[in-house]
Structure 1
Amino acid sequence: MAKKKEKPIDLKNLEPEEKIKYEIAEELGLLDKVLANGWRSLTSKETGRIGGLVTKKKREVKS
């Protein structure tokens, strides 16, 4: 089975929701890992932390 080819990530041209994910990954010191190996390289704990902070940021924006 062929491995899915990852397209290069353009950090300047992201959807707002994607941008938040990358910003949080950077805040947590995980951005280099994501850029080098993709989101799948993160542990479930790291992914959960990012997801929790994305949700928190969305709530802050709504209120």
Structure 2
Amino acid sequence: MASKKNEKLKLEIAKELGLLEKVQKEGWKSLSAKETGRIGGLMAKRKKLG
């Protein structure tokens, strides 16, 4: 159940960063390390707050 929450949050953040279309077309592996790091950082921040 937690992984579904994580996936939803990850998609939400990708959308906010303008990366959702890229992820949907090419998958998560198409993201650069910088993009992946931004998503991970925001996920950690939001988990800590919420």
Bin of the TM-score, shorter chain as denominator length: over 0.9
Count of residue pairs brought into register by the alignment: 48
Structure 1: gaps (5+ residues) = 1-13
TM-score normalised according to structure 1 size: 0.74
Identity of aligned residues (%): 58
Bigger radius of gyration, 1 or 2?
1
Higher relative contact order at CA 8 Å, sep ≥6: structure 1 or structure 2? 2
Runs of 4 or more consecutive aligned structure 1 residues displaced over 4 Å after TM superposition: none
Structure 2: gaps (5+ residues) = none
**Cα RMSD, aligned residues only:** 1.1
1 or 2, which has the higher helix percentage?
A: 2
